[in-house]
Amino acid sequence: MKGIDPYFNDFLSEIRLTSSQKDDLKRGHKILRDRLTADTTLKHLIVTTFLQGSYRRSTAIRPFGEKRADVDIIVVTNLDKSKFSPQETLNLFIPFVEKHYKGKYRLQGRSIGIELSYVDLDIVITSAPSEVDQEALKSKSVTTDMMLEEVTSGNNDWRLIKGWNEPDLTKSFAAQNLSDSQKKEAEWKLEPLHIPDREANKWEDTHPLEQIRWTRDKNKNTNYHYVNVVKAFKWFRALRLTDIKHPKGYPIEHMVGDCCSDGISSVAEGVCLTLENIVHNYRLNRHLSTVPGLADRGVPEHNVWKRITSEDFNSFYDSIVTYASIAREALNETSIARQVAKWQELFGDKFPDAPEEDNNSNKSGGFTQRTAPSNPTGGRFA
């Protein structure tokens, strides 16, 4: 599949967050986190803060239209959930957002959303974890603001251990290696965190660090193609399945994770097999008009597809059947021009055009190679 790989590299560079969008996200969350920990009222309640969500997992795509990039900030507190209701917990943060983000915030079911001109932020508050987990949650492996793809370098992959530190991206991979003892050190097995659901008036379990760890392992098992398969799939879903309200966001990412085959050799293969596996794995659900249940990473009793209706699932599934066939045709094509045309049926004009084929290319079964070099970003994630 080397012939089509440069086209996917260029496509991915067009749908990733731009450098300016990443800078905006970093500026937005850093200012928010600094303000939280400096607040005279809240700083005594806050144990630590860290990032979660698609930005941290490196599965975010460039926003469509007027939408802004977004990032989720977990705020770990020392509040006893048996003494504070979800509404009371959120109320403690109202004076803070009134002071710094007046007119720009809204109370959501389980978070406080902040809409700025350049970025969207979500404050996700947790109750007090155990004292042992509190110490682990303060470590650099948790509080780092680097994306998962930025901390996959040589033998210093991100790990939930005390001795892990952010890699120095100015140095070679070899200079960033973990020590032998750090490589052998068992990762922390942290408990889920508890977040307030004010609409249901109860505390809910969540485990964002387990989602990050699962994504890291899946990425390794797919030759570091998985996060790019997710980005490609999210782009396809947003571009082509516009008449379907759900699934989107993390529920889509979760299903891709369940259906993306290990050992794939390219993003093209990963996208095709993921589509085909969705068709195969959920055929019975479609036949019975039932919605599949997908167990959350780290909190398996939670079904991440619980909000999806059977009507939405049926429409989603039927669309996937159509596009799985197109992706298979693209993967089996020997002509680069025809491969590109098929992939553009999924990904639109962000997927680059192919140069015109030689007159003899169809006769020989060959194809015209790209003449312009590709410059993918993201290192091993490109």
Q: Which of the following is catalytic: 120, 122, 133, 296?
A: 122
Residue for token pair 């999924």: 346
- What are 176's two structure tokens? 């960033």
Please state, in angstroms and as integers, the Cα–Cα distance from residue 13 to each residue in 2, 70, 113, 260, 379, following that order.
17, 19, 28, 21, 12
Q: Which of the following is catalytic: 70, 120, 133, 296?
A: 70
Please state, in angstroms and as integers, the Cα–Cα distance from residue 2 to each residue in 221, 346, 358, following that order.
20, 20, 19
62 contacts: CB under 8 Å, gap ≥ 6: 14, 15, 16, 17, 18, 21, 69
Residue 346 sits at the vertex; the CA angle it makes with 343 and 349, to the nearest 5 degrees, is 75
Residue 224 sits at the vertex; the CA angle it makes with 209 and 302, to the nearest 5 degrees, is 35
Best CA proximity match to 164, nearest among 184, 139, 145, 133: 139
337 contacts: CB under 8 Å, gap ≥ 6: 354, 355, 356, 357, 367, 368
Q: Is 70 a catalytic residue?
A: yes
Best CA proximity match to 337, nearest among 348, 319, 353: 353
Q: Which of the following is catalytic: 72, 133, 145, 296?
A: 72
Q: Is 72 a catalytic residue?
A: yes
Beta carbons within 10 angstroms of residue 123's beta carbon: 23
Helix (H) or strand (E) holding 105: strand 105-107
Helix (H) or strand (E) holding 206: strand 202-206
Best CA proximity match to 226, nearest among 212, 209, 206, 245: 212
Best CA proximity match to 350, nearest among 44, 147, 101, 61: 61
Are 230 and 249 in contact by the 8 Å Cβ rule? The answer is no
- Catalytic (active-site) positions: 70, 72, 122
